Structure 1
């Protein structure tokens, strides 16, 4: 079996059997491609079926010199998934990474923005330009609904249920959820739709896509990152932020203001509550308030 064939089969498995998104498939494939490039660069001719633990260990030791512990851990996890697939399909008897441990890493707390910083970013948007109304609606939506960037770029007009106060979001693995949307965010989306979007020449395939670029096509993930980074520079924000920062801030601010973790989990679309629990570490004062408010001996 050749590496290229094994990788292609694995990608099909991730798409069809696991139902993963294109972004997730790309990330998993990247880990395998790193190993393939290492083998080619070192003239190591060995198939995915016969590669040994020792060869993979040498590869990981080499990578470890250039990346941090978190990246090493992600790489090992990605490769384990690939070789688990080969074992599952009976191409191999064992996974060569079964006895290779990932480096221990501390849980990284998410970066957050204060309400003041979020307001400063939104206020820095130049509303005199057509894309200004669009960008304001984007930032308001990221913060008020806690969307992932891919969820935002894929959002359809037909996903907006404003009368009911919800939007339908398609998340990881094409799983759908309904997220409440506040009146002010609805207002900014309506302004963008009526005053900017309605005046665009939109190709048929993007008629239902909510946020469009100047050519009437769907915005890319990279464009959302660029919009946010430019605004951060504009207000001299001394933080490294991304669209995901608004998602973290959404969850953190809800928790700080008394929302329960289960509700936050549902709105974020986390499959496991343990993923949502990371927000409990952001502001421990919340825990004190819970005890003071709810404990019978307070």
Structure 2
């Protein structure tokens, strides 16, 4: 009898443990099902983000992946003024940014698709190199170049030529052209594309964050849109100047006599070749652009 009671007690304890464990597992599985459904719903709604966005992939790869998925340019146009942005230091000109400062804003897109960003910005005199920004859309770098997009600025060559004590010509200084750069599209730093970079925007609200990596700028308006580019062919261009006389005179532009350059690193140098002009046998004169200065 005692053995029977002991066996029944052990079986009772075992049953309690077994059914309790089943209940816990069932609850856990229910939670798993709910979270899985939520995750799948998010993945379905944002399949483009999850399929294509990788900060280690370059723009060329991501852009062609977008095209292979059938993504097209959107038709929305959104203007964002400095008053609509948060961050930076707002004054009557716009939002002043120093390295490390960031601004953010939310835009509502009616037509999901690919868009370009066009910025108004003023390059301040404290800038020593081309300003660069880190751009994130919905907290994501959609491709690797977004972490360091260079803003276009002009560097003016000083007019007066300088020489050292030996009579050799010195490389001219470059001075930043401090001015407003209006409607500047963000460009591909690898120069695979001549048109501005494309970014993917979801239908509805999208958060855009811009962080200044280098330089000192004032940010004005930002336009999110696509431009219809319809360039004329040569015959059409020629017909637009019907009364211009043809001129067969040779026009010579010396490489070292540029007015502005896009990067401070671009520089002139001397090539000791009598076929290159200007040329001097005894002294160094600047007569070519250094091909290694473009990297």
Which structure's CA Rg is the greater one? 2
Compare the two structures and name the one with the higher strand fraction: 2
Compare the two structures and name the one with the higher helix fraction: 1
Provide the TM-score with structure 1 as the length reference: 0.22
Provide the TM-score with structure 2 as the length reference: 0.22
